[in-house]
Protein backbone atom coordinates (compact mmCIF):
# COMPACT_ATOMS: atom_id res chain seq x y z
CA UNK A 1 0.00 0.00 0.00
CA UNK A 2 2.81 2.42 0.80
CA UNK A 3 4.26 2.03 -2.65
CA UNK A 4 0.84 2.62 -4.21
CA UNK A 5 0.38 5.77 -2.15
CA UNK A 6 3.82 7.04 -3.13
CA UNK A 7 3.11 6.28 -6.76
CA UNK A 8 -0.23 8.11 -6.58
CA UNK A 9 1.41 11.14 -5.02
CA UNK A 10 4.12 11.17 -7.66
CA UNK A 11 1.52 11.03 -10.42
CA UNK A 12 -0.41 13.85 -8.77
CA UNK A 13 2.72 15.95 -8.50
CA UNK A 14 3.48 15.22 -12.13
CA UNK A 15 0.03 16.40 -13.21
CA UNK A 16 0.35 19.55 -11.11
CA UNK A 17 3.71 20.19 -12.75
CA UNK A 18 2.21 19.83 -16.22
CA UNK A 19 -0.61 22.22 -15.38
CA UNK A 20 1.84 24.74 -13.96
CA UNK A 21 4.07 24.51 -17.03
CA UNK A 22 1.07 24.89 -19.34
CA UNK A 23 -0.25 27.94 -17.47
CA UNK A 24 3.15 29.58 -17.25
CA UNK A 25 3.62 29.13 -20.99
CA UNK A 26 0.21 30.69 -21.67
CA UNK A 27 1.00 33.61 -19.39
CA UNK A 28 4.46 34.22 -20.84
CA UNK A 29 3.19 34.18 -24.42
CA UNK A 30 0.34 36.54 -23.50
CA UNK A 31 2.80 38.81 -21.67
CA UNK A 32 5.12 38.84 -24.69
CA UNK A 33 2.26 40.08 -26.88
CA UNK A 34 1.15 42.70 -24.34
CA UNK A 35 4.63 44.07 -23.60
CA UNK A 36 5.60 44.07 -27.30
CA UNK A 37 2.46 46.01 -28.22
CA UNK A 38 2.21 48.46 -25.30
CA UNK A 39 5.61 48.47 -23.61
CA UNK A 40 6.13 47.93 -19.89
CA UNK A 41 4.34 51.10 -18.80
CA UNK A 42 1.28 50.53 -20.96
CA UNK A 43 0.86 46.83 -20.23
CA UNK A 44 -1.41 45.62 -17.44
CA UNK A 45 -1.92 42.38 -15.56
CA UNK A 46 -5.62 42.50 -16.46
CA UNK A 47 -4.86 42.67 -20.17
CA UNK A 48 -2.32 39.86 -19.89
CA UNK A 49 -4.83 37.69 -18.04
CA UNK A 50 -7.42 38.35 -20.76
CA UNK A 51 -4.95 37.43 -23.48
CA UNK A 52 -4.03 34.22 -21.64
CA UNK A 53 -7.66 33.35 -20.94
CA UNK A 54 -6.91 32.97 -17.23
CA UNK A 55 -8.16 34.74 -14.10
CA UNK A 56 -6.03 37.64 -12.89
CA UNK A 57 -5.42 35.70 -9.66
CA UNK A 58 -3.64 33.01 -11.66
CA UNK A 59 -1.15 35.55 -12.98
CA UNK A 60 -0.29 36.66 -9.44
CA UNK A 61 -0.05 33.01 -8.34
CA UNK A 62 2.78 32.35 -10.79
CA UNK A 63 4.34 35.82 -10.92
CA UNK A 64 4.53 38.26 -8.03
CA UNK A 65 3.84 41.42 -10.04
CA UNK A 66 4.14 43.01 -13.47
CA UNK A 67 7.86 43.55 -13.09
CA UNK A 68 8.39 39.91 -12.17
CA UNK A 69 6.51 38.86 -15.29
CA UNK A 70 8.44 41.33 -17.46
CA UNK A 71 11.76 40.00 -16.18
CA UNK A 72 10.56 36.42 -16.76
CA UNK A 73 9.77 37.24 -20.41
CA UNK A 74 13.24 38.75 -20.87
CA UNK A 75 14.93 35.87 -19.02
CA UNK A 76 13.18 33.32 -21.21
CA UNK A 77 14.61 34.62 -24.47
CA UNK A 78 18.02 35.42 -22.97
CA UNK A 79 18.34 31.90 -21.56
CA UNK A 80 17.59 30.46 -25.01
CA UNK A 81 20.19 32.69 -26.65
CA UNK A 82 22.88 32.12 -24.02
CA UNK A 83 22.33 28.38 -23.79
CA UNK A 84 22.92 28.00 -27.52
CA UNK A 85 26.39 29.51 -27.26
CA UNK A 86 27.20 28.57 -23.67
CA UNK A 87 28.43 25.03 -24.29
CA UNK A 88 30.98 25.63 -27.05
CA UNK A 89 34.59 24.64 -26.42
CA UNK A 90 37.93 24.91 -28.20
CA UNK A 91 37.59 21.23 -29.17
CA UNK A 92 34.55 22.03 -31.31
CA UNK A 93 34.82 22.77 -35.00
CA UNK A 94 33.68 26.28 -36.05
CA UNK A 95 32.49 24.73 -39.33
CA UNK A 96 29.83 23.02 -37.20
CA UNK A 97 29.35 25.58 -34.44
CA UNK A 98 28.78 28.68 -36.58
CA UNK A 99 26.08 27.22 -38.89
CA UNK A 100 24.29 25.61 -35.94
CA UNK A 101 24.38 28.84 -33.95
CA UNK A 102 23.06 30.90 -36.86
CA UNK A 103 20.28 28.36 -37.48
CA UNK A 104 19.22 28.42 -33.83
CA UNK A 105 19.26 32.22 -33.65
CA UNK A 106 17.16 32.52 -36.82
CA UNK A 107 14.77 29.90 -35.40
CA UNK A 108 14.40 31.94 -32.21
CA UNK A 109 13.60 35.04 -34.29
CA UNK A 110 10.92 33.05 -36.07
CA UNK A 111 9.47 31.41 -32.94
CA UNK A 112 9.88 34.22 -30.36
CA UNK A 113 9.75 37.49 -32.34
CA UNK A 114 7.89 39.45 -29.67
CA UNK A 115 10.31 38.48 -26.91
CA UNK A 116 13.21 39.60 -29.11
CA UNK A 117 11.51 42.97 -29.71
CA UNK A 118 10.92 43.45 -26.00
CA UNK A 119 14.62 42.77 -25.37
CA UNK A 120 15.62 45.23 -28.10
CA UNK A 121 13.32 47.90 -26.70
CA UNK A 122 14.70 47.36 -23.20
CA UNK A 123 18.29 47.69 -24.43
CA UNK A 124 17.52 50.81 -26.48
CA UNK A 125 15.91 52.46 -23.47
CA UNK A 126 18.99 51.83 -21.34
CA UNK A 127 18.34 48.32 -19.95
CA UNK A 128 17.21 49.73 -16.58
CA UNK A 129 15.41 46.49 -15.78
CA UNK A 130 18.38 44.30 -16.70
CA UNK A 131 21.06 45.72 -14.43
CA UNK A 132 21.29 42.46 -12.47
CA UNK A 133 21.75 40.44 -15.66
CA UNK A 134 24.55 42.62 -17.01
CA UNK A 135 26.25 42.96 -13.61
CA UNK A 136 26.12 39.22 -12.87
CA UNK A 137 29.47 38.41 -14.52
CA UNK A 138 28.09 38.98 -18.01
CA UNK A 139 31.52 40.17 -19.11
CA UNK A 140 33.06 36.97 -17.79
CA UNK A 141 30.58 34.83 -19.74
CA UNK A 142 31.15 36.82 -22.92
CA UNK A 143 34.93 36.74 -22.51
CA UNK A 144 34.77 32.97 -22.25
CA UNK A 145 33.01 32.76 -25.64
CA UNK A 146 35.53 35.18 -27.16
CA UNK A 147 38.43 33.06 -25.84
CA UNK A 148 37.10 30.02 -27.70
CA UNK A 149 36.89 31.97 -30.95
CA UNK A 150 40.40 33.35 -30.36
CA UNK A 151 41.74 29.83 -29.87
CA UNK A 152 40.17 28.78 -33.16
CA UNK A 153 41.93 31.73 -34.81
CA UNK A 154 45.25 30.77 -33.23
CA UNK A 155 44.81 27.25 -34.59
CA UNK A 156 44.03 28.52 -38.08
CA UNK A 157 40.37 27.43 -38.00
CA UNK A 158 39.23 31.05 -38.42
CA UNK A 159 40.93 33.89 -40.31
CA UNK A 160 43.31 35.86 -38.10
CA UNK A 161 41.91 39.21 -39.32
CA UNK A 162 38.64 38.60 -37.48
CA UNK A 163 37.87 40.27 -34.15
CA UNK A 164 35.85 37.66 -32.21
CA UNK A 165 33.81 40.23 -30.28
CA UNK A 166 32.58 41.90 -33.44
CA UNK A 167 31.91 38.61 -35.19
CA UNK A 168 29.51 37.74 -32.35
CA UNK A 169 27.93 41.21 -32.45
CA UNK A 170 27.38 40.77 -36.19
CA UNK A 171 25.73 37.36 -35.76
CA UNK A 172 23.48 38.75 -33.02
CA UNK A 173 22.41 41.78 -35.03
CA UNK A 174 21.80 39.96 -38.31
CA UNK A 175 19.83 37.06 -36.84
CA UNK A 176 17.73 39.17 -34.46
CA UNK A 177 17.00 41.64 -37.26
CA UNK A 178 14.42 39.17 -38.62
CA UNK A 179 12.42 39.48 -35.41
CA UNK A 180 13.01 43.10 -34.43
CA UNK A 181 12.46 44.55 -37.92
CA UNK A 182 10.00 42.03 -39.32
CA UNK A 183 7.56 44.80 -40.30
CA UNK A 184 10.20 46.41 -42.49
CA UNK A 185 11.17 43.04 -43.99
CA UNK A 186 7.55 42.18 -44.71
CA UNK A 187 7.03 45.54 -46.44
CA UNK A 188 10.17 45.07 -48.53
CA UNK A 189 9.05 41.57 -49.56
CA UNK A 190 5.45 42.76 -50.08
CA UNK A 191 4.06 40.19 -47.66
CA UNK A 192 1.91 40.42 -44.50
CA UNK A 193 4.84 38.92 -42.57
CA UNK A 194 8.05 36.97 -43.26
CA UNK A 195 7.29 33.36 -44.14
CA UNK A 196 9.12 30.09 -43.46
CA UNK A 197 10.87 30.26 -46.84
CA UNK A 198 12.15 33.74 -46.00
CA UNK A 199 13.68 32.57 -42.74
CA UNK A 200 15.28 29.61 -44.53
CA UNK A 201 16.71 31.91 -47.19
CA UNK A 202 18.04 34.24 -44.49
CA UNK A 203 19.61 31.31 -42.66
CA UNK A 204 21.34 29.97 -45.79
CA UNK A 205 22.55 33.42 -46.83
CA UNK A 206 23.97 34.31 -43.43
CA UNK A 207 25.71 30.95 -43.07
CA UNK A 208 27.27 31.29 -46.52
CA UNK A 209 28.46 34.87 -46.02
CA UNK A 210 29.71 34.50 -42.44
CA UNK A 211 31.53 31.21 -42.98
CA UNK A 212 33.12 32.48 -46.17
CA UNK A 213 34.10 35.71 -44.45
CA UNK A 214 35.63 33.74 -41.58
CA UNK A 215 37.64 31.55 -43.97
CA UNK A 216 35.78 28.41 -42.93
CA UNK A 217 35.24 25.63 -45.45
CA UNK A 218 31.97 23.74 -45.13
Residues of the chain with confidence (pLDDT) below 70: 1-17
Residue 137 is predicted with a pLDDT of 86
Residue 185 is predicted with a pLDDT of 97
* Whether the Cβ atoms of residue 63 and residue 36 lie closer than 8 Å to each other: no
**DSSP-derived secondary structure for 72-116:** HHHHHHHHHHHHHHHT--TTS-HHHHHHHHHHHHHHHHHH-HHHH
Give the span between the Cα atoms of 201 and 218, in whole angstroms.
17
Phi, psi of 174 (to 5 degrees): -70, -40
Question: Which domains, from first to last, does the chain contain?
Answer: 1-63 (1.10.10.60), 71-218 (1.10.357.10)
Q: How many CB atoms lie within 10 A of CB 170?
A: 16
117-129 pLDDT, tens digit each: 999 999 999 998 8
73-119 pLDDT, tens digit each: 988 888 889 888 888 999 999 999 999 999 999 999 999 999 999 99
Residue 124 is predicted with a pLDDT of 92
Give the span between the Cα atoms of 198 and 102, in whole angstroms.
15
Q: Of the candidates 13, 14, 22, 63, which has an alpha carbon nearest to the alpha carbon of residue 43?
A: 63
Amino acid sequence: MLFKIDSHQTEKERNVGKIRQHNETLILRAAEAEFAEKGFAGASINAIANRAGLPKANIHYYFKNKMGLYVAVLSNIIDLWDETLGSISVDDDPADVLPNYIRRKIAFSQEYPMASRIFASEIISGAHNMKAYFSDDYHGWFSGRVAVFQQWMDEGKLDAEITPEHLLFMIWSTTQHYADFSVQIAAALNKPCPEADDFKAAEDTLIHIILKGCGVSR
